[in-house]
Structure 1
């Protein structure tokens, strides 16, 4: 059975490679929904399901893995920043405080339409970040491709005081949860 990753994320691909999962990556053809009036869990599930379903026409058979990750602070959903100004705004908001990271994973099997959906939540506490540090980090370009405008596994690590929960959730794919979900499709890694 072929496994497909409905994602362009190099981080998600890297994590699947690290656990020894053979897969093919396909770019999903789904625009993310607006976050208005949705709870964080509903938002990530909806986006992950849309990503999974968007690649169904491109495959004959197999299991699709799709995921969506967001950062939530004071009930505001922070996806990827629109530009440098937005990244500065997000990092300033997260500085010196705690926030939550949500990832929904969807597994969808073409043919049977069997679908499993799970959500992981991780609490992240950032230390206080000066405006000069934020500016320098944003100028590196790294924050522009990450929910909440930081990458915990790269330069953004220096801003993290502590986390409660799954580290890989913050990276963008909670591996332990995914491995358990794959067992329901008789896929063992």
Structure 2
């Protein structure tokens, strides 16, 4: 199936996430995937979830852009926060269970920050996008059973809304794709505004 958009320039996704790759591919645009080699630093003292996610997204985009001059480079990073407390990826299944226990029966924020660099390496879009997610009540046994699946281990906050962890979600307020890992509406708008993509019919590629 062909998506609604087509390229007018080279695009690089600076992310190893298969979920971001699937989301961006759903638009119909072609892009390369180049994974950044930068180490992810810990949050600075007092750094907000949005500020931290944006810092990481821009670090990744700039690292990849050094070897891809002339292309638009999109970096992204997702964090989960309870208030201002940032939850990264769990180190093991016990850590995943701890995180899910913190989220059970309450609301939290998922922030995906995106950093789009233009062909000359200039930032043409840099923004954190937030979605409120509420978990239903969870028993310790349910939490342990989900953590045991191993799905949590490479997910910020220890769960995947689009995967086995979907049963824990009571409601969301905001972008669903943002929780998965890429705010599609904002991303498409930014790419189009920057001149990297256009509607397929406008480009004469229908």
TM-score > 0.5, shorter chain as reference: yes
The residue that corresponds to 1:21 in the other structure is 29
Where do 4+ consecutive residues of structure 1 move more than 6 Å?
none
* Residue of structure 2 aligned with 1:92, choices 92, 97, 101: 101
Q: What's the CA shift string for 1:106-150, capped at 9, x where partnerless? A: 100232524311221100000011111111111111011111000
- Contact residue 132 and residue 172 of structure 2 kept, 8 A: yes
**TM-score, L = length of structure 2:** 0.88
**Structure index of larger Rg:** 2
- Contact residue 62 and residue 121 of structure 2 kept, 8 A: no
Q: What's the CA shift string for 1:13-61, capped at 9, x where partnerless? A: 0111111121000011111121132111110110000000111232132
- Contact residue 131 and residue 174 of structure 2 kept, 8 A: yes
Q: Superposition RMSD on alpha carbons, in Å?
A: 1.2
Q: Give unmatched runs, 5+ long, in structure 2.
A: 1-8, 200-206
The residue that corresponds to 1:173 in the other structure is 182
Matches of 1:72 and 1:167, distance apart in 2: 16
The residue that corresponds to 2:172 in the other structure is 163
Matches of 1:53 and 1:60, distance apart in 2: 11
Matches of 2:120 and 2:129, distance apart in 1: 27
* Residue of structure 2 aligned with 1:138, choices 144, 147, 154: 147
Q: How does 1:69-148 map to 2 (within 5 A)?
A: 69-111=78-120, 113-148=122-157
Matched, 1:50 2:63: no
Equivalent residue of 2:44, what SS? coil
- Contact residue 69 and residue 121 of structure 2 kept, 8 A: no
Matches of 1:73 and 1:112, distance apart in 2: 34
